[in-house]
Each structure stands twice: as structure tokens, then as C-alpha cells.
Amino acid sequence: MSRLPRSFGIFVFALVVVAGLVIWTILPRTSNEGYIPEQPIPFSHKLHAGQYKMDCRYCHGSAYKSAHAGVPSLSTCMGCHTVVKTDSPWIQQIQKAYAEGKPIEWLRVHELPDHAHFNHKRHLAKGVTCQTCHGNVQEMDKVYQAQPLTMGWCLNCHRGFEAPKNVLKSTYPEQENPEGPVAPFSCNTCHY
């Protein structure tokens, strides 16, 4: 059996690499980690939540009441921006939209598929902070997806492996170094 020329080996290797790259490119992504879209208005969480220390609930109030955190209505923005920084062209754009009754079309950063039901209220009630899933939003000029938001990532916390300390402690108050699941992980906890 004759030896194949060396160039053939290189060719095969190159083929595998290219095929791999192509497959990697076309395969659907399970995680959108790092997604950082350009919003129609460059709203800065770093300014509002970081510098001015506005409570998350001021705008995302329904996070404590509902499965959905909600995005504030324009009237919430106008609560301050009828008087604050009215010289900014962006703010003027908001005022115009408000006057015309046209909502701003924000781009969604954190999105779970429709078959996964996430409930903000239940997580907050358990003591999970906003930052656990959304990252340090108060330091983000542009909001991006800081965590993978994949099922394995969710389960890591539900089963207690990477659960926040306070959640573990509140679930197992009598243990010194609490460990164990902190939330149900039946399929129909989220999928129904």
C-alpha cells in the first residue's frame, strides 16, 4: 500500500477545518450570550440605575407582580423627562413619540423560547436578584445578555449547584453550609 502524498493529508485537514467552520456557522445557536443590539434610543442603564441609583422596580415594576418584568411605558419616561434634559435630541424624540402616541420599538435582549415559561415574580420572591440572570446592568451603557440563559444554566441553580448563597440559606436555614436543590426541576416547572 503506497503512502499518500503529504499534501493530501493537509488537504483533508483543511477540508475538515473548513467543513467544521461551515457547520458551526450554520448550526442554530442555543445561547445568545453576549448579544448587544443597538437600541432605537441609546438608553443607558449605567446612568439611570448605576449613577442615579434608580431602583429597577421604578421602570420594571411588574417583575415583582407578574411573570413578566415589563418594559416601561412612555409615560414612565415622561415622568421625569418633561423637565429633565429636555435639550437632548433623544429626549425630544421620546417627547415627540409620546405626543403622537407612538410607542418606541425596543429591541429585545433577553429572550427565552416560547416553550419555556420563566416567572420573574417567583424568582424575586425567592431572593434571586436581577443581576443573577441579567448581569450587572447598572454598569452597562448598552445592555447585553450576560448569561447563557440555557436550560443547563437554569438547572445549575435549580438543583443548587450554583445557586446564590442567600437562596440556599433561605431554603435550608438549619444547615451550616447549605446544599441541595433550591427549586423544583420537574419538566413542567417551566415547560407546558
Return the range that interacts with another protein (CB under 8 A); candidates 72-80, 84-92, 132-140, 160-168: 72-80
Q: Which three-class secondary structure state does DSSP give residue 124?
A: helix
Which residue's entry shows cell 477540508?
15
**Identified binder of another protein from the candidate list 6, 83, 115, 176, rule CB under 8 A:** 115
Return the range that interacts with another protein (CB under 8 A); candidates 46-54, 70-78, 85-93, 132-140: 70-78
Phi, psi angle pair for 101, to nearest 5°: 70, 25
Contact 125, 135 (CB under 8 A): no
Q: Does 125 bind another protein (CB under 8 A)?
A: yes
Nearest to 157 by CA among 117, 113, 126: 126
Give the Å distances, CA to CA, from 67 to 43, 126, 142. 24, 14, 24
Q: Shortest Cβ distance from residue 69 to another protein (Å)?
A: 8
Give the side-chain half-sphere CA count within 13 A for 189. Answer: 13
Q: Does 173 bind another protein (CB under 8 A)?
A: no
Element at 148 (helix H, strand E): none
Return the range that interacts with another protein (CB under 8 A); candidates 45-53, 80-88, 110-118, 159-167: 110-118
Q: Does 111 bind another protein (CB under 8 A)?
A: yes
Binding site for another protein (CB under 8 A): 25-29, 32, 35, 37, 62, 65-68, 70-76, 97-98, 101-108, 111, 113-117, 119, 121-122, 125, 184, 186-189, 191-192
